[in-house]
Amino acid sequence: MLKINLSILGVFLSLMQIYCQSFIIDSTKIYKQKTLSFEEANIINSYYHQEGIHSAITGGTGTEKLSDFANVIDLKLSSYSGRGIKKTYGIEMGLDYYTSASSDKIDAKVSSASSSDVRFYPTIHYRREDEKTGFVYGANISFSKEYDYTSRGFGGNLSKSSKSGNTEFAAKANIFLDTYSQIVASEFRTGLTGREGSKGNIGNAPRNTYDMSLTLSQVISKRLQIALTADVDYQSGLLSTPFHRVYLEGGSLVREVLPDKRFKIPVSLRANYFLGERFIIRSFYRYYKDDWGMNSHTVNVELPVKINPFFSVSPFYRYYKQNAIDYFAPYLENKASAPFVTSDYDLSGFTSRFYGVGIRHTPFKSISDLFAISQIELRGALYKRSDGLSASIVTFNIQFKGF
């Protein structure tokens, strides 16, 4: 029931990943130890807070105040064979705790069980790389659980780099099989019986997502690298949110109703340009379109600056614009004759700006000759949306590397 802009949190964490990685394909083929060993670990902590006045739970009007504490531990182990085969095993554990003033309005009379909640989301990864041929394949299994939502995910990926190491083609696919507990607002609980009915739960419903992406990465020159990605995303099942209220023209109240299918096509281009040893321009553009009538544009620029061999500063800016889906209308403006209705402002037309700065320290400090602290990073950002929603986020990441 975590109804933040989790997209903001996702974008922020992805910015961290973009900053730490490069799509230069390493052509150095050094065969290392054969035994399973510690390669890398990341500990990420973040705090997110938002304010707004257009809660979908209360029909497009009312508080959107929410706070979220997120904690992620990511561990990677690897082994090498004498034939240049590298196998990587990854385990990621995530735990969020959030409080939501808007979710507390699901029940108009008593405090809702979802006014605060914990989300637990582990993921297991496997990756096999042939350093001679440049062929990589992998798989992942994920799980996520919170008060009213359970998700099970399965995925696979593969990539192939050229002999020169300057070109790489990658493909990945994921399936998420989710179950949504249909907890309805208190006004719709008349006639419900039994233990679950008293809580407003009218049963479970599926929400499944199938996505695939193709990426072509190319080193154009010593200074310029680009990557083009095309995605296809299909969702089916309960795509509306059961506890979202919608106030129609004339004041009558109904539950949110949306189509049970959604087809999305995002296309994106990423480019990194190295101005020298101290400056990099990282840019990103994405165009998105779906069959609910939404179109959006995202532009992101990040400018890492290396202060000295151990410190760097990375300001970033993201601009986003979308139009409303065909079924959105504000409070008291949805028509009773419409087959689909929503007053969720995440589906409205708006523009947003997301900007901040990251500070990274790379001490590579050895600890007991077992591993080293390879990176410490602190990032802070603000989010402003044209409909009045605002948010802030602070993220701290510490990375360890094995020898």
**How confident is the model over 240-273, as pLDDT tens digits?**
999 999 999 999 999 999 999 999 999 999 999 9
Q: Are strands 224-237 and 201-219 parallel, antiparallel or unpaired?
A: antiparallel
**pLDDT tier for residue 27 given thresholds of 50, 70 and 90:** very low
- CB within 8 A of 81, min separation 6: which ones? 34, 87
How many residues comprise the chain?
Answer: 403
Lowest mean pLDDT among 158-167, 245-254, 326-335, 365-374: 365-374
Query: CB-hemisphere CA count at 13 Å for 395?
Result: 26
Cα gap 254→246, rounded to integer Å: 5
Cα gap 343→54, rounded to integer Å: 9
**How confident is the model over 42-68, as pLDDT tens digits?**
999 999 999 999 999 999 999 999 999
**pLDDT tier for residue 191 given thresholds of 50, 70 and 90:** confident
Q: What is the CA radius of gyration of the chain?
A: 23
- For tokens 């209705």, name the residue: 341
- Answer yes or no: are the C-beta atoms of 151 and 166 closer than 8 Å: no
Lowest mean pLDDT among 30-34, 94-98, 107-111, 253-257: 30-34
pTM, two decimals, is 0.89
Q: Which residues pair with 279 in a beta bridge?
A: 305
Structural domains present in the chain: 6-402 (2.40.160.40)
Neighbours of 278 (CB within 10 A): 12
Closest-CA residue to 150 (of 178, 123, 122, 124): 178
Closest-CA residue to 246 (of 54, 72, 86): 54
